[in-house]
Amino acid sequence: MSRDDSRSEEESAGTRDLLDGHAGSGHAVVVSIDETAQFWDEQARTFDDEADHGLRSPAARHAWRDMLRSVLPNPPADVVDLGCGTGSLAVLLAEEGYRVTGIDLSAKMLERATAKARAAGTATSFRQGDVSDPQLQRASMDVVVVRHVTWALTDPDDAVRKWAGLLRPGGRLVLVEGLWSTGTGMTARRLEGIVRPIISNCETRPLTDEALWGRPIDDERYVLVARG
């Protein structure tokens, strides 16, 4: 794997420069919220260069749209995208007719997300916040979407518990994660072990379609869907 190929996974995993020698352990190093925000502010300018981040190609957009539509209820529905980054998924879902809120720590990521929503003409709303405790009203969402964020949180069990509390009855928690070839990330088995005690109705589907990633992949990538 080339340096460029590995960059997406390491940075998606959250913390290339913050891993501090722990790459390969599959565990994130505990860092402060300010350090995390600063790290992601620095990634914002080039973040969308990766196919699955920017969704610039029609093939990638269609692949993510189809995958998400297959696990979400029909629009309109209230969706929050936690750790929304540059807003690619949030805007994609808003274009599909969902009412979408995006929350992220990084002001630079949110600037890009806001510009993307404006360019797309969607009414997506974005705000700065810590997804470990999103400060949203309980039972106010039909869907909580989180892509490439959960594994790197300090206390994913507590975060998932809070996210589950945001769901209306019958709502869905949709977590996209992976254990990337770099050794960072989280296995589906481990994430299921976190989610199942909180929402027992949960299933995982592998995401192997190369259209999602802009290239063939040989590591573990998946979506976990839990239905409250």
Ligand X SMILES: C[S@@+](CC[C@H](N)C(=O)[O-])C[C@H]1O[C@@H](n2cnc3c(N)ncnc32)[C@H](O)[C@@H]1O
What are the residues binding ligand X (CB under 6 A)?
12, 14, 36, 40, 53, 83-85, 88, 104-106, 109, 130-132, 147-149
3-class secondary-structure state, position 194: helix
The minimum distance between CB 82 and ligand X, in angstroms, equals 7
**Per-residue 3-state assignment (H helix, E strand, C coil) for 18-81:** HCCCCCCCCCCCCCCHHHHHHHHHHHHHHHCCCHHHHCCCHHHHHHHHHHHHHHCCCCCCEEEE
Minimum separation from the CB atom of position 28 to ligand X (A): 10
Choose between 83 and 228: whose C-beta lies nearer to ligand X. 83
Distance CA 49, CA 196 (A): 34
Smaller CB separation from ligand X, 14 or 228: 14
For ligand X, the closer CB: 39 or 170:
39
CB of 51 to ligand X, least distance (A): 11
Closest-CB residue for ligand X?
A: 85
Give the residue with the Cβ less far from ligand X, 82 or 202: 82
Query: How far is CA 129 from each of CA 7, 92, 103, 106, rounded to the nearest angstrom?
Result: 26, 21, 6, 8
Distance in Å, CB of 200 to ligand X, minimum = 26
